[in-house]
Structure 1
Amino acid sequence: MFEHMLVPTDGSPLSTTAVENSLAFAKETGAKVTLLTVIEPFHILSANAEQLAGTRSTYEEHAKAEAEKHLAGLKEEAGSMGVACEAVHVVSGEPYQCIIDTAVENNCDLITMASHGRRGVSALVLGSVTMKVLTHSKIPVLVYR
């Protein structure tokens, strides 16, 4: 069966449900889990570099703190279920590629994720992260709806 699952999460309600289901599946199969949150890089247009420096660092600190807080809670939940779990957060402008790369780097044999996250209408226009992972991954993907 599966030995190491990568479980990306963005903190949305559906993503959190997918994590909970993934942890239950991991417990049943004896798989270990790597949780992943992809932090999107800071984007802004400005001619004044001084404005960007303070804003960028504030954003990055806040995003990192939120990711760590979210992952810590999920890691604690995994521990209480008896599931071996690691948690990783990465900054990337291409979340789908980051998910695939992280799965490959960690020798994961399954990616489990929600069918969509918090991107709303933009996901419909640009294509969802999940769809891109399904399209490009050579590792099996289990999608929770």
Structure 2
Amino acid sequence: MFSHILIPTDGSALATLAVDKGIEFARDANAGVTIITVIEPFHIATANAKQINRTRGEYEKFVRMEGARALTDAELKAKQIGVSCRSVQVESDEPFQAIIDAAEKNSCDLIMMASHGRRGIGALLLGSVTQKVLTHSKIPVLVYR
């Protein structure tokens, strides 16, 4: 039914669980996966706790390393259970759009993602990334809770 699944992660516990379940789902469906992390650019005026306590350079180094760790962990999991996997890290002010764009660019026929990640008060004010992907994606979205 599905041949290529995009699985976004922000490294949070729920997103990591969704990655694991997504890779297992891909194995059962005989599908490949692309794992994506989206780095939000540093902004001086922000509610993002990762940015408030860091300089621009510290923030960029921290989120790139955190994203690379999440991608490496997912790639190892996929390899262990025999799922074809590639990974990508992108930077975008609009993570939901970066996820949709990556799914289209990589010819994915399903996006599987966690119901929420580490979005804090910003999610309450702006809506979650998952909700925005559900609203705007033309590709089917499977949400893991």
Distance in 2 between the 1:60 and 1:126 partners? 23
Separation (CA, whole Å) in 1 of partners of 2:60 and 2:134: 29
2-structure distance, mates of 1:44, 1:122: 15
2-structure distance, mates of 1:73, 1:144: 19
Could you tell me the TM-score, scaled by structure 2's length?
0.90
Shift of 1:100: 0.3
C-alpha separation in 2, matches of 1:136 and 1:106: 17
2:41–2:91 CA contact under 8 A, matched in 1: yes
Report how far residue 33 of structure 1 moved.
0.3
| Paired residues of 2:18 and 2:144 also in contact (CA < 8 A) | yes
TM-score norm. by structure 1 comes to: 0.90
Aligned partner letter, 1:83: V
Percent of aligned positions that are identical: 58
Report the alpha carbon displacement of residue 67 of structure 1 after superposing the two structures with TM. 1.0
| Pairs within 5 Å for 1:43-122 | 43-44=43-44, 55-122=55-122
Q: Deviations over 1:86-118 (max 9, x none)?
A: 011111110000000000000000000001111
SS at the partner of 2:35?
Answer: strand
The residue that corresponds to 1:23 in the other structure is: 23
Specify the alignment match of 1:48 in structure 2. none
Rounded to whole Å, the distance in 1 between the matches of 2:114 and 2:75 is 18
Please report the RMSD computed on the Cα atoms of aligned residues, expressed in angstroms: 1.4
Partner of 1:11: 11
Which residue pairs with 2:38 in the alignment?
38
Larger radius of gyration: 1
Count residues in correspondence.
Answer: 137
Q: CA–CA distance in 1 between the matches of 2:12 and 2:109? A: 24
More displaced stretch, 3-12 vs 66-75: 66-75
SS of structure 2 residue aligned to 1:6: strand
Q: Distance in 1 between matches of 2:123 and 2:103?
A: 22
- Report what 2:51 is aligned to: none
State the distance in 1 between where 2:74 and 2:89 align. Answer: 13
2:137 counterpart of 1:137:
yes
- For residue 61 of structure 1, report the CA deviation from its aligned partner: 2.2
Matched residues in 1 for 2:139 and 2:63: separation?
28
Shift, 1:57, TM fit: 2.7
